Amino acid sequence: MVRRLRGWTRREFITRVARFGAVSPLFGIARDGLASELRRSAAQAPEPSYKLTLYDESLLNDFEQAACLYFWEQANPDTGLVKDRSTPSEFDDYTVASIAATGFGLTALCIADKRGFIPNNVVISRVRATLKFLATRMYNQHGFFYHFVDVNTGTRAFDCEVSSIDTGLLLCGILMCKQYFADEQIRSLAGQLFDRVDWLWMLDRGRTLSHGWTPENGFLPYRWNTYCELMLMYLLGIGSRTHAIPADTWDAWWRPIFDYKGLRYIGSYAPLFVHQYSHAWFDFRGKRDRYANYFENSVLATKAHRLFCIGLRNRFPDFSDSLWGVTASDSIDGYTWWGGPPPVGTIDGTLVPSAPAGSLPFLPRETLLVLHTMRRRFGNKLWKRYAFQDAFNPLKSWYNSDVVGINTGIGVLMAENLRTGFIWETFMKNPEAEAGMQLTGFHPEEPANAPPPNPTPSARALA
C-alpha cells in the first residue's frame, strides 16, 4: 500500500512540492557556486566533538537492545520479513511486512550479534533464512521487490508497487550482512541478490530512476529527481558490477538550496528523515563531491529543524531545546507526512522520537538531550518493549500504540554509528559502495582555505 497523505500519495506529494519549489522564493537552485555557498555555511560554527557520558551510553545501549528486539520478534523466522509496524508485544498479529523495514532489520541483526543481544548461532540462522527466502521464493521484477508483502508468505500486499527506494534500503541491509558475517552461504546469497538487480531497467529510458513499477500499469509516473533519501539508491546503482547505471545520473537530480536563519543547505519539502537514511550505511564524513559535503549538509539541516521546532513553542508549549523533533510518523489522525522548515503538513504538536534519534551522529549533544528528556519525562507511556513508541502528542495526552519499523530502524542504526561507527566501517568495505562513491567523484574534504571547486549545474529542470 502506498500510504495516503491528505488525499495525495507520497509520490504525488513529492512531485507537487518539487514543482512548487521550482518557483518558490524560499530557496535557490543548486547552480554554479553551490559548493562554495555550502562550504561557507558549514564553516560558520565548528562543533567540538562530543564525548558520550556513561549516562548517554546507558540510554543508547537500552535503546539499541530494545529496538533490536523489535526486528527479532516482529519478523517471521522462516521468511525473515519484518513487519511494517507492530504493537509493543511479541504476540502482535499484524501480517504486513515492509522490505525497507527488513533492510533495517538485517542491519539491526548485525548490531545485535556484535553487542551480544542475541546468540550468534541463531542470528546467523535467521540471516541465512531471510536471504534464502528473498533469493529463491520471493517475487521480484528485475531484482526489485514489492514495497509491502505478507510477512508469512512474501506475497504482494495492498496492490502496492515494485519499489526502487525500498529495494535500495533492503539491499543496504543485505550488503551489511555480506560484509559482517564470515559465512559463505550468507555472502553468496547476498551477492546473488545484489547482482541481479537491474538498475538500468529502473531508469525506464530516462536519466533518473523511476519510483517503481506495477504489473497493471507499468512504471509509475514519478522520478527520483530531487534531493531526498535517494542518494543510497544512486550510489548502489552506479556501483553495481552487473547492471550499473551511468555515473552521470548522479548529476541528473536536483539539489535545491534552502536558507533558514542563516543556515544554507541542500534540502527538499520533506520530513527530516530524507537527511538521515542514506547516512545510516554510507559514510559521507570528511568527504565531498562537486556539490557538497553531505554529512555536514545533514548537520545543517538538523540544526535548522531544531530551530524550526523551538520556534513553534508559542503554539506548542512543550516544544523546547530539550524536546523537539517532527518527521513522517503516525499521528492521532493516522500516518502523516510532516516536518520543516518550511512547514510541511499540518503540525499539531506531535513529537517523533526517530527525528532526533535518526540525527544522533549529526548533533549528538542536542539529540541526546531530547532522548533523555523523552524517556525521563514520559516514562512507560512512551518507552515500552521496543524502546520509544513511534510518536506522541503530550498536549493531547496521546501516545501511539504502534512502533513503525523504519522509524525504529533509523534510530538504532544511527545510535550505533554514533557510538562506534560500526555500520559505516563495515558497510563501506563493500566494493559496490566504494565504487559508487569513487565513480561519482567523492574525495576527502579539502582544507577550509582551499579554493572551492566550480561545479556544473545539477538537473536543469525536473524531468
pLDDT tens digit string along 365-413? 999 999 999 999 999 999 999 999 999 999 999 999 999 999 999 999 9
Residue keyed to cell 555480506: 178
- Residue 148's Cβ-count burial label (10 Å; 0-12, 13-18, 19+) is buried
Phi-psi category of residue 116: left, alpha or beta, with phi > 0 → left and psi -120 to 50 → alpha = left
Q: Could you give the 3-state DSSP secondary structure of residue 200?
A: helix
Give the model's confidence band at 7: pLDDT under 50 very low, under 70 low, under 90 confident, else very high: very low
Whether the pLDDT of residue 257 is over 50: the answer is yes
* Average pLDDT value for the chain: 90
pLDDT tens-digit readout, 68-97: 999 999 999 999 999 999 999 999 999 999
* Extents of the domains making up the chain: 4-444
Say what the pLDDT of residue 49 is.
87
Cell of 47: 562543533
Cα(136)–Cα(128) distance, rounded to whole angstroms?
A: 12
Whether the pLDDT of residue 454 is over 90: the answer is no
Residue in 100, 1, 4 with CA at minimum distance from that of residue 337:
4
Of 281 and 449, which is predicted with more confidence?
281
Residue in 120, 135, 241 with CA at minimum distance from that of residue 188:
135
Say what the pLDDT of residue 446 is.
77
Residue in 82, 173, 195 with CA at minimum distance from that of residue 423:
173
Residue 144 is given by DSSP the state B
Pairing type for strands 27-28 and 8-9 reads: unpaired
Q: What are phi and psi of 451, to 5 degrees?
A: -65, 135
Cα(82)–Cα(95) distance, rounded to whole angstroms?
A: 9
Cell of 418: 554514533
Whether the pLDDT of residue 38 is over 70: the answer is no
pLDDT tens-digit readout, 380-391: 999 999 999 999
Give the model's confidence band at 457: pLDDT under 50 very low, under 70 low, under 90 confident, else very high: very low
- The structure's pTM equals 0.91
Say what the pLDDT of residue 193 is.
98
pLDDT tens-digit readout, 109-126: 999 999 999 999 999 999
- Residue 208's Cβ-count burial label (10 Å; 0-12, 13-18, 19+) is buried
pLDDT tens-digit readout, 136-155: 999 999 999 999 999 999 99
Give the model's confidence band at 40: pLDDT under 50 very low, under 70 low, under 90 confident, else very high: low
What is the CB neighbour count within 10 angstroms for residue 28? 15
Q: What is the CATH code of the structural domain delimited by 4-444?
A: 1.50.10.140
